[in-house]
Amino acid sequence: MLEICPTSNLNTRVVSGWDEFRWIFDTFRRNEIRFTINTDGPEMLKTYIRDEMAQLGRLGILSLEDQQVAAATSLASSARELHYWQQRRASAQLVPSPSDRETVHFGSTVTIERDDGRRQTWRIVGEDEADPTHGTLSYASPVARALAGRKVGEVVQAGNSEAEIVAIE
C-alpha cells in the first residue's frame, strides 16, 4: 500500500501540480495499486486529511468512492499504528544504566575513534529510541552489535572502516 501526502508532495516539488496527481491516481486505479491519503505534520502545513481528500475530490481527481476507500484505509492504518504504540508502551521496561563500565552493554555510552581521527559517541538503546544523529544507536544496528561485549582499546568494524573503543560510560 502506498501513502500519499498531496500538500507535502506539492510543497517539496515531488509533483509539479494537481494535474500530476490525476495521472498518479489514474495509474494506481488501472494497476490496482492500493493507496491511502495522509498529511505530513498538520501543525506545520495547516492541512488535514479531510482537506486533502476534499481538494482531490473538487478537482475530480478522486471520486467519492475513492475518497471513502482512502478514508477507511487511513482510519484502519491509524488504528493499527495506535494499537502498535499502545502495546509498545504497555510492554516497555525501564533499564538502568549498566554498572559494568568495563564492557559495552545495552545502555552503555560508548566513544569510538575512527581511522580518520573522528570521535563519535553513542548510547546504545532500544530500536524505538535510536537516532544516531542525536547520539543514540539501536542495539540491533551493525555498529552496536560489533561493540557489544567489547572493552576499551579493542578495535571493531564500524561501517566501512575500523574504529577503536576509547571510552565506555
pLDDT value of residue 42 = 65
The residue from 34, 63, 91 where one domain ends is 91
Of the pLDDT bands very low, low, confident and very high (cuts 50, 70, 90), residue 107 is very high
pLDDT over threshold 70, residue 71: yes
pLDDT one-digit tens code per residue, 88-105: 888 888 878 888 899 999
Work out how many domains the chain is built from and give that number. 2
Q: Are residues 51 and 115 in the same domain?
A: no
CB-CB contact of 53 with 71 (8 Å): yes
pLDDT one-digit tens code per residue, 111-153: 999 999 999 999 999 888 888 889 999 999 999 999 999 999 9
pLDDT value of residue 155 = 96
CA gyration radius, the chain: 23
Q: Are residues 84 and 114 in the same domain?
A: no
Q: Are residues 30 and 86 in the same domain?
A: yes
Q: Are residues 10 and 86 in the same domain?
A: yes
* 28 vs 156, higher pLDDT: 156
pLDDT value of residue 54 = 84
Query: Which residues lie across from 164 on neighbouring strands?
Result: 113, 155
CB-CB contact of 123 with 129 (8 Å): no
Q: Are residues 82 and 130 in the same domain?
A: no
For residue 96, being part of any structural domain is answered with no
Q: Are residues 15 and 46 in the same domain?
A: yes
pLDDT value of residue 43 = 67
**Number of other residues whose CB lies within 10 A of the CB of residue 167:** 14
Q: Are residues 125 and 86 in the same domain?
A: no
CB-CB contact of 7 with 17 (8 Å): no
For residue 99, being part of any structural domain is answered with no
pLDDT one-digit tens code per residue, 16-68: 988 898 888 889 889 988 887 877 766 666 778 778 888 888 888 888 887 78
The residue from 63, 91, 119 where one domain ends is 91
Q: Are residues 135 and 162 in the same domain?
A: yes
39 closest CA partner among 73, 76, 3: 3
Q: Are residues 74 and 8 in the same domain?
A: yes
